Amino acid sequence: MANLTVYIVRHGETLLNTFKRMQGWCDSDLTKQGRQDAIKAGQSIHAVHFDYSYSSDLKRAIDTKNLILQQLDHAPGQTRVERNFREVSFGYFEGLPSATTWKEVGQTAGYSTQAEIIADKGLAKAQQLMHLADPTGLAETNQQILGRWRAGITQIRNECAGGTNILLVTHGTFIRTLADYHHINTLNNYPKNGSISILKLSDNASELMSYNE
């Protein structure tokens, strides 16, 4: 397989983002600012010749991808929607206020914010605590998230073996988990709406070249 460069874009701002609500598998529309986030991201990479484009199957990611594609000088040969790239599931906590959610999640371990958990124990521990606090058991663990990521990347490797540049529009906590896996400190460094991270893929390795830019 030739080396692949994956441009990973976080979707534009949504209504639930403005309300500071937990938005994983639940969805909401892009705001006016969110559309601008997508357009700006597309303009910043307009000259890149993408062989393929992917997005999560959630509407906010699909809408962002479509706005980005409108800005490109060259349309990708193929574009696809893939469930493996959707946002992390927050289970029972979907749609609830973020601050009160993390206070509830962390209280049994002596924490009151997500940042406190990550600073002390790391992102994977924060995700584990949410999973344990979820009465439905649907909030994803770090290993479940990374399992989806690996499945998605395997699909990209198989489908894009003859390509070079790949566009992938996905979600904030999903990207953050990927960055954490690549040993990037994401404490107080959450992907901005419309931000771009660049991943290099070779036959047996991956390297995150840039994050949240």
Domain map (residue ranges) of the chain: 4-87+140-210
Q: Is 12 annotated as a binding residue?
A: yes
What confidence score (pLDDT) does residue 191 get? 99
77/41: higher pLDDT: 41
What confidence score (pLDDT) does residue 1 get? 61
Q: Is 80 annotated as a binding residue?
A: no
- State which fold the 4-87+140-210 domain adopts: Rossmann fold (3.40.50)
Residue 153 contacts residue 146 (beta carbons within 8 Å): no
Known catalytic residues are 11, 87
Q: Is 60 annotated as a binding residue?
A: yes
d(CA 87, CA 174): 6
- Kindly state the average pLDDT of the residues 117-121: 98
Predicted confidence (pLDDT) per residue in 158-171, tens digit: 999 878 999 999 99
What confidence score (pLDDT) does residue 161 get? 81
Burial class (CB in 10 A: 0-12, 13-18, 19+), 54: buried
Residue 89 contacts residue 27 (beta carbons within 8 Å): no
- Kindly state the average pLDDT of the residues 37-41: 99
pLDDT band at 69 (very low <50, low <70, confident <90, very high): very high
Q: Taking phi first (over 0 means left), then psi (-120 to 50 degrees means alpha), and beta for anything else, what does residue 137 get?
A: left
> The dihedral of CA 55, 208, 194, 21: what is its sign?
positive
